[in-house]
Amino acid sequence: MKPKSISAQADLLDMGFDMYDSCDSFESTKKINPKSMRAKGKITVMNGLKRELLTDLLGRLPEESEYIHLISNGRYDYYTFIPVVLSHVGVIDELWASTWTMNRDNCENMFKLYDAGKIKDIHIITGIYFKRRESAVYASLVEGMVKRGQKYISCENHAKVILIRSGNKYYVIEGSANWTANPRIEQNIICQSEILYNFHKDWMNEYFD
């Protein structure tokens, strides 16, 4: 069965198709080719091991080609970058995100921001682990994405990447954490780079083509 993204299946809901009973409805077995790129830029480091909130650590967004490296001990999760960046830019025109798993609070907050017009376009990739381990949250995510005409797919994924475009600003967040509460040491990098943004967007888009 050819894997489908949510937007391709939205019309199936009107035919009474129960997507939650179909194991491979939003699951892709696609394999992408490894990719690499080189980048140079200014490096800024921030240590959050004293349990600072992300809003305290990230008082400003990176400048063009600036890479901000953060280390934290789990007071905030990976999803927190989205509302924090949003507080600086006002509106997110495009959000692409890859995570292994997520929790219900973050899922609901993302939809709340979308419904308020703060996020205009969403593409989400999760791991198959999330689909099978957090089935109730998975169902809520699928239902919410279908309802809003946004795109989601699961695959053998463990990458943690968030892409945020606001106007002509392109922000990339890479790190070790998931969209869940984890009281552990985690590392993140946030930068402003259209080249890196498109690098990650290209491989993510392969799953939605």
Give me the mean pLDDT over the 99-121 stretch.
Answer: 92
pLDDT in tens, 136-190: 888 999 999 999 999 998 888 788 899 999 999 999 999 877 666 666 677 888 9
Domains of the chain: residue spans and CATH: 42-205 (3.30.870.10)
Give the lowest-confidence range in 25-34, 54-63, 86-95, 187-196.
25-34
Please state, in angstroms and rounded to a whole number, the distance separating the CA atoms of residues 82 and 188: 13
Per-residue pLDDT, 16? 38
78: CB partners within 8 A, 6+ apart = 99, 160, 162, 173, 175, 177, 178, 179, 186, 188
Q: Which amino acid is at 201?
A: K
Instruction: Name which of 106, 209, 197, 109 is nearest 151 in CA terms.
Output: 209
Record the pTM: 0.75
What six digits make up the tokens of 157?
């994924």
Could you tell me the two tokens for 174? 């890479």
Asked if 156 and 100 touch (Cβ cutoff 8 Å), the reply is: no
- In angstroms, the CA 16 to CA 131 distance is 21
Q: What residues contact 187, with CB distance under 8 A and at least 6 apart?
A: 69, 70, 71, 72, 175, 176
Mean pLDDT across the chain: 78
**Neighbour-count burial for 103-121, b at 16+ CB within 10 Å, e otherwise:** beebbeebbebbeeebbee
What is the distance between the terminal CA atoms of the chain, rounded to a whole angstrom? 15
Is pLDDT of 82 > 50?
A: yes
pLDDT-wise least confident of 28-37, 64-73, 124-133, 192-201: 28-37
